[in-house]
């Protein structure tokens, strides 16, 4: 029996020794990474870095694209607004060029005459003046009302002051030069005399 016991102990010792050796090998394998695996991890890390770099570039490109698209939309809207304004105010330059002629017509029409020939001439001038004003009104040009109105610095230019107690304060008492506007834009403000 002691022989069997010795054999059994020897077998147990060998098994225990083999188990310890296997355990040591497994522990050693866990702590040391084979060269192939180590290279793969470095490659993965490099791939991850490259991926992050590409994602950042993509994000920057998308941001740049969105900014460019917004800029393009703004330019497009601005161009549409400019074209609309150009169309709306297309006759401004011709109206500005005609203002001195209209002033001359107005002065001539304000003259008094006893002569029939002069009256006939003034009648013809009134007709021409009326035709010019009709053409300008068709384009949106109109005279700015002034006499008897309250002074508005957007439409009137005060060049003189009056002291008339029968008129309201800030009321226009005299129009020295007629003002004109094209639709909602002032071409020339009215030059006026304003009550204190």
Report the pLDDT value the prediction gives residue 60, as an integer from 0 to 100: 92
Residue count of the chain: 196
Q: What angle do CA 126, 132, 138 make, to 5 degrees?
A: 130
Q: What is the mean pLDDT of residues 96-103?
A: 91
Q: What angle do CA 91, 95, 98 make, to 5 degrees?
A: 145
Indicate the SS3 state at residue 180.
strand
Instruction: Give this prediction's pTM.
Output: 0.58
Give me the chain's average pLDDT, please.
Answer: 84
Report the pLDDT value the prediction gives residue 38, as an integer from 0 to 100: 47
The pLDDT tens digits for 2-45 are 666 667 677 677 777 776 677 677 566 655 555 554 454 556 68
The pLDDT tens digits for 143-186 are 999 998 999 999 999 999 988 888 888 899 999 999 999 988 99
Structure tokens at 11: 């077998």
Report the pLDDT value the prediction gives residue 37, as an integer from 0 to 100: 47
156 closest CA partner among 186, 195, 136, 196: 186
The pLDDT tens digits for 51-75 are 888 899 999 999 999 999 999 999 9
> How far is Cα 70 from Cα 62, in angstroms, rounded to an integer?
12
């Amino acid at each position: 029996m002691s022989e069997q016991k010795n054999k059994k102990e020897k077998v147990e010792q060998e098994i225990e020794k083999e188990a310890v050796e296997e355990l040591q090998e497994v522990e050693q394998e866990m702590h040391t990474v084979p060269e192939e695996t180590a290279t793969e991890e470095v490659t993965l890390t490099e791939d991850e870095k490259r991926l992050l770099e590409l994602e950042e570039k993509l994000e920057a490109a998308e941001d740049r694209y969105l900014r460019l698209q917004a800029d393009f939309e703004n330019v497009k809207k601005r161009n549409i607004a400019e074209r609309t304004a150009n169309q709306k105010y297309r006759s401004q330059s011709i109206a500005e060029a005609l203002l001195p002629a209209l002033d001359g017509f107005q002065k001539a029409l304000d003259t008094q005459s006893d002569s029939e020939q002069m009256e006939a001439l003034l009648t013809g001038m009134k007709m021409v003046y009326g035709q010019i004003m009709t053409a300008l009104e068709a384009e949106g040009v109109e005279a700015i009302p002034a006499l008897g109105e309250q002074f508005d610095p957007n439409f009137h230019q005060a060049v003189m002051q009056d002291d008339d107690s029968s008129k309201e304060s800030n009321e226009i008492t005299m129009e020295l030069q007629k003002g004109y506007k094209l639709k909602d834009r002032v071409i020339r403000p009215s030059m006026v005399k304003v009550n204190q």
